[in-house]
Amino acid sequence: MEPIWLKHYPHGVPHTLELDPGLSLVDWIETALARWGNRPAFTNMGRTLSFAEVDELTQKFAAYLQAEAGLQQGDRVALMLPNLLQYPIALLGCLRAGMVAVNVNPLYTARELKHQLRDSGAKAIVIFSGSAHVLAEVISETEIEHVVITNVGDLLPAPKRQLVNLYVRYIRRSVRPYHLPMAQSFDQALACAADRYVRPEQMQGSDLAALQYTGGTTGVAKGAMLSHGNLLANVAQLMGDKTLLVIESPYLPTVIEKGRFENISYAHLNHFTTRAIDCMCAPLGIGIGSVDLVDTDGGSFVAYLRKGTVTPDGILDSVTGDDLQRFLVRMQQNGDRIRDALSGFSPNEVVGYGAGAKGPFLVSLYELGPMLHAVVDDNVSFHDQYLAGTGTRIVPSSVLEDDAVKAVLILAPTHADSILASLPAGKTAINII
């Protein structure tokens, strides 16, 4: 008997995937980097790295881990970085060296950081200078032997690099004093010659690639063991139908314009789903555009959209930049209250309603947990399709009449009054603006 859910798969998505158990991420990454050459791969703060540049830099970082740090295949390397160009270099370099990536939230407290470093057994850490003071508090209680510290502007060209680093340190005062005498700079790590890189032997799909930690909602954070095969399968699922990548997904708001693929990474790269799409699937698998690594605060994201790099209407439709900024700021400030408001309902009892409210709004909602399983939008032609890599389904507004729907989360602030007036009786309205 054929599983009943297969009939809901969008056209073109295969029902099964055949993966080579002998294939590792090292094979896939190196093949992709060589294939796409001088095409743009990652962009941050005006600097774009080509695939060829990513290839060279990741070889250098992998060589540093192997030859300078003396780490062995399978050793754990913690990555405690915000959305910077340094992240994909460190991640892909770590994987190419055959080591295990341990993502760490750059906003962790000392207690949270100590637990994750001790639990994972990490021997090295690549850390943003703004988080280094937290590491300094607990490093003596961990197995960390090597520390690589990076500043925001380290991969930017001069003089922007120096100006950005000075601004972050002395104007924004984002870097607190710390004492880590054994630390090296990211520049020093990348000074290692690429020809010292040794490709790990006998890597296969069952080898461990990453330890991804939970949020610790029900206790201490727990590490999920993700193999090379796990991640390759996830990428293959996301790329089963490339047309899905143009749908405004919570982690993949995109625009196709004149043949150019523009992928905006708004969510935190230390999240597994974001990493799979933004550092592996979109750039390495498709190779037709750059991934813009955008700061995760609402103001920065809105400022990015207003630069005109990406057509705003392609993402926001009728929702204005000011509305989006208010929404994101409110989400950040009142996350616990919103989570509490939704906690009384099962996921299938809640729909989100908003004229044109898509990608950026859903990013913030998924920060609270995958509670929103249906997004109401009458202006699309792909009703009843699931967004790539998520449990979110696009449905017409007639779903509001369904007795199974108990609550409506209002996503469009400028339309809140009209939405409230049109809601059927007996529905709970949650307006977070």
Q: Whole domain around residue 225: which residue ranges?
A: 9-292
* CATH code of the domain covering residue 76: 3.40.50.980
Mean pLDDT of the chain: 75
Residues 342, 407 contacting (CB under 8 angstroms):
yes
Structure tokens at 318: 């009728």
pLDDT at 295: 52
pLDDT surpasses 80 at 74: yes
60 within a domain of the structure (yes/no): yes
Distances (CA, A) of 4 to 7, 11, 15, 312: 6, 15, 12, 38
Does 370 score more than 50 pLDDT? no
Q: Are residues 277 and 344 in the same domain?
A: no
Higher pLDDT, 213 or 276: 213
Place of tokens 């790990």: 200
Cβ 281 vs Cβ 239: under 8 Å: yes
CATH number for 368: 3.40.50
d(CA 171, CA 164): 10
Confidence of residue 303 (pLDDT cuts 50, 70, 90): low
The type of residue at 113 is L
Q: Is residue 114 part of a domain?
A: yes
Domain assignment of residue 304, yes or no: no
Q: Look at the pTM and tell me if it is higher than 0.85.
A: no
Our CA angle for 126, 108, 147, nearest 5°, is 20
Whether 236 maps to a domain, the answer reads yes
Nearest to 264 by CA among 205, 202, 312: 312
Q: What does the pLDDT read at residue 283? A: 55
**Is residue 265 domain-shared with residue 342, that is, in the same domain?**
no
Query: Which range has the worst mean pLDDT, 145-149, 209-213, 304-308?
Result: 304-308
Q: Are residues 254 and 400 both part of a single domain?
A: no
Shared-domain flag, residues 337 and 288: no
| 120-134 confidence digits (pLDDT tens) | 999 999 999 999 999
Question: Is 172 found in the same domain as 232?
Answer: yes
Mean pLDDT of 21-44: 85
27 inside domain: yes
Q: Are residues 243 and 354 in the same domain?
A: no
Q: Distance between CA atoms of 23 and 27, rounded to whole angstroms?
A: 6
Among 275, 292, 309, which residue terminates a domain?
292
- 203 and 337 inside one domain: no
Is 329 found in the same domain as 288?
A: no
276 and 161 in a single domain? The answer is yes
Q: Which residues of 303-314 are buried (b: 16+ CB within 10 A; e: fewer)?
A: ebbeeeebebeb
Q: Are 292 and 265 a contacting pair, CB within 8 Å? A: yes
Put residue 14 in one of left, alpha, beta given phi > 0 → left and psi -120 to 50 → alpha.
beta
pLDDT at 428: 82
287 and 331 inside one domain: no
Kindly state whether residues 418 and 368 are assigned to the same domain: yes
Distance from C-alpha of 226 to C-alpha of 228, rounded to nearest angstrom: 7
Give the strand pairing for 40-44 and 47-50.
antiparallel
Is position 305 within any domain? no
158 domain residue, yes or no:
yes
Total domains, the chain: 2
Alpha carbon 290 to its chain's center: 15
Distance from C-alpha of 259 to C-alpha of 268, rounded to nearest angstrom:
27
Residue 272 sits in the same domain as residue 144: yes
What's the rounded mean pLDDT across residues 10-31?
A: 81
> Who has greater pLDDT, 182 or 385?
182
| 299 assigned to some structural domain | no
